Amino acid sequence: MTEITPDQRDAPIFKTFGELFAAGFSLDTTTWVFILTVHIAAVVLGGWLIFIAPNEWALIAAGWIVVHFILGSLSTTVYSHRLISHTAVKNVSIPVHLFFCFFGQVLSVQGSVRRWSANHVLHHGVDRHGKKELDPYSATWFPDTLRNFLWSHLLAHLFNHPESDAFLRSYNAKRHPIIMLQDRFYGLLITFWIFLFPMGLGYALGGWLGFVALLSGSVVGSVLVQHNTWTVNSVTHLWGWTKGLKSSAVNNFIWLGPLGEGNHHGDHHDFPRDYRNGFGWSGWALDPTRYIILLLRGLGLVKGLNHANRFEEAEIIAARKLARVDQLKSLNKDAAALYAHWENRVMALRQDWLEAVSRWETLRKESKLLQQANVSRKELTQDLRQAKALVKARKEEFFAAVEQLNYRAHRYSR
Ligand SMILES: [Zn+2]
Ligand SMILES: [Zn+2]
């Protein structure tokens, strides 16, 4: 971890958007014209679907939008994000690469997998080395929330960013032949799946009416997927309750649009190669992307899931808790000694808790091995239950001691 504090890490580096041009940014004409055109088309065609189109075609287009939205969103979260950018599984089979590269991920209209992944690796790079100027869609470049929102959500995609070795390294690192092929023919794939296919199918089914209806479904679906995915860069880095350790990302627990990527983004930045997006039961309950990865594993299409073990999770949670301990502003010698005593006590309780977690984790592994060997687990189940109870008790003790330490910090600071 870097030595900088969260305040230093999140300090703005630009005052206005105008300063970007002096720093080597320029508008990317192809992209902004494309995005603007698709947005205008979505509004016009969406209006046509709601107010003018015959009911049966409006319904068919609505179904198209829903399928497009779900497939496009999941393709980004499952494939571009977890499987490719973060190598959340050790082995991805050829059919999975083919399906997402030549169909699913194209529906997300976010650029090729190779480019998307290169940018996303830089987005996480700041967590490791603190160089936030390399994060393509940072939500902390500007001094106010509005600019940070606009940049991280939309504007970042409309600019050519200054060339960097870090981007090239990241781009060249993704060398799977199918991903490279998709990158090469990405323009053609977008033209086919977003425009030609729906227009052709619509025309075949219902003449010009079908042509316009399915084109409307495709264009509206594309715009909805884009904004849904972009909220991960904007909303989840700006608003929420549980701050992550290594980045500006926050767990907000409620933003479900990105199908598991939106609600536990703080957890994700603290352990990015996890195939899951959040720790604990709330992470499990709110993560459809995880269920799809488990389904792919069940079908034998991906193998070797990476995830934080309970000890690693507990270490992160303990560090977050300690990061929130208020520092003393001024104190006399006696108070300092007493405070130091309490601080040591908190650290000892943290160690006790982590040891209990480690013991529980070992027992769980043993239990799994015995289960495979068909040995009676009665005794081990009892041990497991006790180990789990000890983890809970020590965690509560540690949490209570942190609260006490904060209370003392306030008292002595007065
Ligand atoms: Zn992020
Ligand atoms: Zn990520």
Q: Delimit the domains of the chain by residue range.
A: 6-305, 310-413
Place of tokens 């939205």: 69
Greater confidence, 318 or 145?
145
Maximum distance among all Cα pairs of the chain, rounded to whole angstroms: 86
Predicted local confidence at residue 1, as pLDDT: 43
Considering only CA atoms, which of 200, 198, 235, 189 is closest in space to residue 220?
198
CA of 285 to the centre of ligand 2 (A): 19
CA of 199 to the centre of ligand 1 (A): 35
Report whether 102 contacts 183 (CB < 8 A). Answer: no
Confidence of residue 52 (pLDDT cuts 50, 70, 90): very high
Greater confidence, 208 or 318?
208
CA of 124 to the centre of ligand 2 (A): 6
Beta bridge partners of 302: 92
Q: What is the chain's percent helix, strand, coil content, to nearest 5?
A: 70, 5, 25
Report whether 149 contacts 155 (CB < 8 A). Answer: no
| Global confidence as pTM | 0.90
Predicted local confidence at residue 308, as pLDDT: 94
Helix (H, G, I), strand (E, B) or coil at 23: coil
Per residue in 210-246, pLDDT tens?
A: 999 999 999 999 999 999 999 999 999 999 999 888 8
**Whether pLDDT at 35 is above 60:** yes
**Whether pLDDT at 4 is above 80:** no
Predicted local confidence at residue 342, as pLDDT: 80
CATH number of 310-413: 1.10.287
CA of 218 to the centre of ligand 1 (A): 27
CA of 233 to the centre of ligand 2 (A): 10
Report whether 306 contacts 90 (CB < 8 A). Answer: yes
- Which ligand approaches the C-alpha of residue 246 most closely? 1
Report whether 121 contacts 111 (CB < 8 A). Answer: no
- Which ligand approaches the C-alpha of residue 235 most closely? 1
CA of 299 to the centre of ligand 2 (A): 25
Helix (H, G, I), strand (E, B) or coil at 71: helix
Q: What is the dihedral of CA 26, 30, 33, 36, to 10 degrees?
A: -90
Report whether 266 contacts 244 (CB < 8 A). Answer: yes
Give the integer Cα–Cα distance in Å for 282 and 150. Answer: 29
- Which ligand approaches the C-alpha of residue 121 most closely? 2
Give the integer Cα–Cα distance in Å for 184 and 298. Answer: 32
Specify the range with the lowest mean pLDDT, choosing from 10-24, 217-231, 234-248, 329-343: 329-343
- Which ligand approaches the C-alpha of residue 85 most closely? 2
| Mean pLDDT across 322-333 | 70
- Which ligand approaches the C-alpha of residue 277 most closely? 2
Measured on CA atoms in the order 123, 124, 126, 129, is the torsion positive or negative?
Answer: negative
- Which ligand approaches the C-alpha of residue 268 most closely? 2
Give the integer Cα–Cα distance in Å for 348 and 387. Answer: 19
CA of 177 to the centre of ligand 1 (A): 27
**Whether pLDDT at 153 is above 50:** yes
- Which ligand approaches the C-alpha of residue 240 most closely? 1
CA of 270 to the centre of ligand 2 (A): 10
CA of 278 to the centre of ligand 1 (A): 13
CA of 120 to the centre of ligand 2 (A): 6
Find the angle CA(270)-CA(274)-CA(276) to the nearest 5 degrees: 105
Report whether 316 contacts 278 (CB < 8 A). Answer: no
Rounded to an integer, what is the distance from CA 69 to the centroid of its chain? Answer: 18
C-beta contacts of 245-252 below 8 A and 24+ residues apart: 245/1, 245/270, 245/316, 245/319, 245/320, 245/323, 246/1, 246/127, 246/128, 246/270, 247/9, 247/124, 247/126, 247/127, 248/6, 248/9, 248/10, 248/139, 248/140, 251/278
Name the average pLDDT for the chain. Answer: 91
The set of residues, in sequence order, having a beta carbon less than 8 Å from that of 302 and lying 6+ positions away, is 83, 89, 91, 92, 93, 96, 293, 296
CA of 210 to the centre of ligand 1 (A): 39
**Whether pLDDT at 2 is above 50:** no
Give the integer Cα–Cα distance in Å for 56 and 53. Answer: 8
Predicted local confidence at residue 331, as pLDDT: 64
Considering only CA atoms, which of 237, 293, 227 is closest in space to residue 260?
293
CA of 124 to the centre of ligand 1 (A): 7
Which amino acid belongs to residue 337?
Answer: A
CA of 35 to the centre of ligand 1 (A): 22
